[in-house]
Amino acid sequence: MLAPDAVMTKDILSSIWNQKTILNGYSTTVQNTVVGKVPTNPQWLNGVRTELKELRVAGNSWMDKSPEFIGLIPAQIVTLSSTFEAFADTITKMLKSKETNTPAIIELLTGLKKQYDAATTQASDITREWMRHIGQFRAVIPQMEKSIQEGWQDLADEEEKITEIAVALTQLQDEIATLSSQITSGVISSGKGVTSSSVSILYKLVSTSGVSVPYLSVVSLAFTIGKSFYDLISKTDQIVDDLKKITELQTEATQVAQAAAATKM
């Protein structure tokens, strides 16, 4: 085929959109994640802060540059479509008139090939740029994971409590994630509105006296179809239960252990 059909094109575009929103959401999260301090301020936590700064740089780079090259994708589809349509119209007219103009056909095919080659080259450039940005994130993550692992090793005697809090935090995030929608070709065809919401999670450390201190603030993006994210989350009892469980577990762990559990967010 010289060009994908309408269904395949929408599937490709929706896949690109979902990948873009994942990176946008991750970039938004690292840009807006604030890690507080605990009384002992262990070295591994300083490492996490440093690596988070590096992730912010990568996130800023993606958010700043991605609109430039991602916007070229639909533009190429439109250009190729117009070129192919002109070629098809000319061939159809020739067939109806029973006149074969070989030089004209060759000229049209040459123009179509040039446009296709240009689109292919640009697609390769976009892919390289896309992977370069992903590489910036990947370069930092292993070191951050190492710092986090050091923290868990330092707190080996509280590993069970840390794990319980981490599992509860993960469950909360999973519940929130399930409320967000993926953009599919069906959604594009339906014409339903897609709403982008900023979701903020504030994680507080609970002291032995019961006083809670803001420690970690995480902001992410959620995409919903036809409804606002607030309408969905306000009617989800499971999220309320998750928050209660997290608070109960925190009262049984030290502040440093609570901080270590937050590394799983």
Tell me, what's the pLDDT at 221? Answer: 44
pLDDT of 98 strictly over 50 = yes
Residue type, 29: T
pLDDT of 166 strictly over 80 = no
Strand partners, 200: 219
Residue type, 265: M
Give alpha helix (H) positions in the chain: 6-32, 43-70, 72-97, 102-154, 159-179, 185-190, 229-233, 237-250, 255-262
Give exposure, 87-111, as e/b (b: 16+ Cβ within 10 Å): beeeeeeeeeeeeeeeeeeeebeee
Q: Count Cα neighbours of 207 within 13 Å in the Cβ-side half-sphere.
A: 8
Cα(173)–Cα(175) distance, integer angstroms: 5
Q: Which of 228, 233, 202 shows the shortest CA–CA distance to 216?
A: 202
Order of all β-strands in the sheet with 194-206: 34-35, 212-225, 194-206
Lowest mean per-residue pLDDT among 11-25, 44-58, 136-150, 179-193: 179-193
Tell me, what's the pLDDT at 57? Answer: 92
The pTM is what?
0.59
Place of tokens 């300083």: 46
pLDDT of 58 strictly over 90 = yes
